[in-house]
């Protein structure tokens, strides 16, 4: 079966790091109340035949090896079976995404008193549940998979899952990085880096990282197959390249023939960006179509070995701009779909835990998968424009999409900016525009909530060998200008009513990048603040007031805008934007007075 996997934007990921985890908030319990018949019908109508939920394996299973786990397992099982049955009515399979083991806080003394021999690599994570300690360092210990009891638990837990949720579509396994899990999750045996230091666990350092990851897949597979031959095992290659050169032949050769190999579409790619030829892509991307050489090589070898393949991509949006309805780069949506159309045996997982609203991007992707869609890119795009925007000027819509692609070539595609830039929340962000020296409080991340964002943007600009602050500002400004022209072109082509709100979405995309440009311009001024810079800061503030007002017009028309599924908040709302305008207007008055003085 060709799986087309999606998820609902308002289903909470759950199961986060904590000294005191609360499994009543796990998605395996809460999703049954979110995925109503109406929601599932809409997902099916948009061309998908499966959904995925985030699971914590230890919470949804109950086996003898670790009696501390799974205290509410049967409640999870009941909720899952209800959702599986409901999904079946709509032709929707349910998949569980999880790490086979998750590290446990060293402060959990009850568990470690009983199972001290299972403790492996020590890592630092962050508290994500206890409100008064959010973000604080949290020491965790891996469940060492070199210990027989841990292996037995993985296998038996998989058997429990298969036996108790018999109609589950299957599991999606991530076996590298993500939250601290097995001892090699964030470690390497040789060639350490800042993000992947050397393995210290005395048992696991005698092994290879890829062997530990493979073992987890094999144990889950073995446990499921004890009672079920129909539940799929999808092995995701995320992070394997830190242990093995692509295509990770040693690991792939040992996968069972009925395992589905899922490869990241874009990571490991090379893109000619504006003013940056042959620029590396190592994150999900809509500004780059892929598949990357890493992806193609992995899936190509998998096919030779008799493994089914899947693409992991994000159709809605990515960290390039995670808080908008979609990033409307329809040319690359076509190219991603065209690869799958030419490889009809492959399925895909089309989203992460954000960027998963149905929109023109999802409709277009599934339109382009159809056999009757023209093979020529421009003709296919115009055909979809006519289909999705009745009575539009298809040539005008095409030109708008081409302009969006042109602007995306200026995307500052480097990890510090993508993860910690101010672009996703820029339309609400005001701290940076106050005159005076920086207060050094962090501005936070682009994908997490932050109640009191400061003006320190250094963590999003410090990237030696990538983009300087001046280049970052220049690129954001150029992208915003081109995207605004694209939005105006789209509005003219679809009509002033903009019934699908795609022109409005383009205006908001442009406004978000314009806000980021203004924020970094203000940051550059305030790095070495002098009162004589007040007039220049006033000019920036004036521009930002106009930008926010223009974007506000479109945000008020579309309540979906601003939602970031990973943060699980709206990064900007009409109310937060009006509050920003109030603050900016106060700053405007002060700066005007200072300039006149």
Token pair recorded at residue 98: 């999880």
Q: What is the mean pLDDT of the chain?
A: 96
Which stretch of 9-23, 228-242, 489-503 has the lowest confidence by average pLDDT? 9-23
Contacts of 518 (CB under 8 A, 6+ apart): 426, 433, 540, 543, 544, 547
Q: Would you place residue 128 in the very low, low, confident or very high pLDDT band (cuts 50, 70, 90)?
A: confident
Mean pLDDT of 419-447: 95
Token pair recorded at residue 289: 């179509």
Q: Which residues of 126-145 are buried (b: 16+ CB within 10 A; e: fewer)?
A: bbbbeeeebeeebebbbbbb
Q: What pLDDT shows up at residue 210?
A: 98
Above pLDDT 90, what percent of the chain?
92
Contacts of 72 (CB under 8 A, 6+ apart): 23, 24, 29, 59
CA distance 441 to 450: 11
**Cβ–Cβ < 8 Å for 537, 525:** yes
Q: How far is C-alpha 462 from the geometric centre of its chain's CA atoms?
A: 22
Q: Is the pLDDT of residue 505 over 80?
A: yes
Q: Which residues of 413-429 are buried (b: 16+ CB within 10 A; e: fewer)?
A: bbebbbebbbbbbbbbb
Mean pLDDT of 403-414: 96
| Per-residue pLDDT tens over the stretch 236-268 | 999 999 999 999 999 999 999 999 999 999 999
| Per-residue pLDDT tens over the stretch 508-518 | 999 999 999 99
Q: Is the pLDDT of residue 172 over 90?
A: yes
Mean pLDDT of 458-477: 89
Sign of the C-alpha dihedral, residues 28, 31, 33, 39?
Answer: negative
Q: What pLDDT shows up at residue 451?
A: 82
Compute and round to an integer the Cα radius of gyration of the chain: 24
| Per-residue pLDDT tens over the stretch 263-298 | 999 999 999 999 899 999 999 999 999 999 999 999
Q: 432 or 195: whose pLDDT is higher?
A: 432
Above pLDDT 70, what percent of the chain?
99
CA distance 479 to 438: 27
Q: What pLDDT shows up at residue 597?
A: 67
Give yes or no for a cis peptide into 291 (omega within 30° of 0).
yes
Q: Where are the domains of the chain?
A: 4-227, 398-596
CA distance 131 to 58: 23
Q: What pLDDT shows up at residue 95?
A: 98
CA distance 590 to 435: 9
Q: What pLDDT shows up at residue 157?
A: 98
Three-state secondary-structure class, residue 6 = strand
Q: Is the pLDDT of residue 463 over 80?
A: no
Give yes or no for a cis peptide into 247 (omega within 30° of 0).
yes
Could you give the C-alpha distances from 78 to 82, 157, 450, in angstroms and in order?
6, 16, 35
Three-state secondary-structure class, residue 512 = helix
Mean pLDDT of 556-568: 96
DSSP 460-479: GT--TTS--HHHHHHHHHHH
**Cβ–Cβ < 8 Å for 303, 257:** no
DSSP 220-264: HHHHHHTT-SSSEEEEE-TTGGGTS-TT-HHHHTTS-TTPEEEEE
Q: What pLDDT shows up at residue 466?
A: 80
Q: What pLDDT shows up at residue 397?
A: 98
DSSP 335-362: HHHHHHHTSTT-EEE---SSS---SHHH
CA atoms within 13 A on the CB side of 171: 32
CA distance 397 to 199: 53
């Amino acid at each position: 079966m060709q799986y087309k996997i999606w998820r609902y934007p308002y289903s909470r990921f759950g199961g986060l790091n904590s000294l005191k985890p609360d499994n009543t908030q796990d998605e395996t319990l809460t999703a049954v109340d979110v995925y109503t018949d109406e929601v599932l019908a809409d997902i099916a109508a948009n061309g998908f035949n499966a959904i995925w939920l985030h699971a914590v394996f230890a919470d949804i299973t109950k086996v003898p090896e670790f009696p501390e786990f799974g205290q509410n397992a049967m409640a999870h099982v009941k909720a899952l079976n209800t959702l599986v049955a409901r999904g079946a009515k709509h032709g929707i399979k349910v998949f569980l995404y999880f790490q086979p083991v998750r590290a446990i806080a060293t402060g959990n003394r009850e568990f470690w008193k009983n199972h001290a021999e299972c403790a492996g690599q020590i890592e630092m994570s962050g508290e994500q549940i206890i409100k008064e300690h959010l973000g604080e360092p949290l020491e965790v210990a891996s469940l060492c998979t070199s210990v027989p009891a841990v292996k037995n638990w993985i296998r038996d837990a998989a058997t429990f899952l298969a036996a108790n949720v018999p109609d589950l579509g299957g599991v999606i396994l991530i076996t590298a990085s993500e939250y601290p899990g097995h001892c090699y999750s964030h470690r390497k045996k040789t060639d350490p880096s800042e993000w992947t230091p050397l393995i210290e666990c005395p048992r696991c350092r005698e092994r290879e990282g890829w062997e530990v990851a493979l073992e987890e897949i094999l144990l889950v597979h073995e446990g499921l197959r004890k009672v079920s031959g129909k539940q799929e095992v999808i092995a995701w290659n995320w992070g394997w390249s830190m242990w093995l050169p692509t295509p990770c032949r040693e690991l792939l050769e040992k996968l069972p023939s009925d395992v589905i190999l899922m490869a990241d579409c874009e990571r490991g790619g090379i893109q000619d960006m504006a003013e940056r030829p042959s620029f590396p892509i190592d994150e999900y991307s809509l500004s780059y179509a892929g598949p990357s050489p890493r992806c193609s090589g992995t899936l190509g070898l998998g096919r030779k070995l008799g493994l089914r393949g899947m693409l992991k991509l994000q159709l809605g949006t990515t960290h390039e701009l995670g808080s908008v309805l979609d990033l409307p780069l329809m040319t690359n949506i076509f190219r991603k779909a065209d690869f799958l159309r030419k490889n009809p045996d492959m399925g895909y997982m089309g989203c992460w835990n954000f960027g998963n609203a149905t929109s023109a991007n999802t409709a277009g992707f599934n339109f382009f998968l159809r056999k009757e869609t023209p093979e020529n890119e421009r003709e296919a795009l115009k055909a979809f424009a006519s289909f999705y925007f009745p009575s539009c000027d298809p040539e005008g819509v095409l030109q708008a999409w081409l302009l969006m692609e042109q602007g995306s070539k200026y995307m500052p595609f480097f990890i510090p900016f993508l993860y910690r830039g101010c672009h996703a929340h820029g339309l609400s962000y005001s701290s940076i525009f106050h005159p005076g020296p920086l207060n050094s409080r962090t501005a936070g991340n682009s994908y997490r909530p932050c109640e009191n964002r400061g003006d320190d943007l250094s963590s999003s600009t410090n990237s030696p060998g990538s983009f300087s602050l001046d280049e970052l500002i220049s690129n954001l400004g150029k992208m915003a200008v081109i995207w605004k022209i694209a939005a105006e072109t789209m509005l003219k082509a679809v009509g002033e009513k903009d019934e699908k709100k795609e022109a409005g979405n383009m205006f908001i995309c442009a406004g978000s990048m314009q806000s980021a440009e203004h924020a970094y311009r203000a940051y550059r001024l305030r790095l070495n603040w002098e009162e004589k810079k007040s007039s220049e800061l006033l000019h920036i503030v004036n521009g930002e007031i106009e930008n926010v007002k223009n974007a506000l017009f479109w945000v008020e028309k579309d309540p979906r805008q601003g939602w970031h599924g990973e943060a699980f908040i709206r990064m900007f709302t009409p109310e937060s934007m009006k509050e920003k305008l109030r603050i900016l207007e106060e700053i405007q008055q002060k700066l005007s007075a200072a300039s006149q003085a």
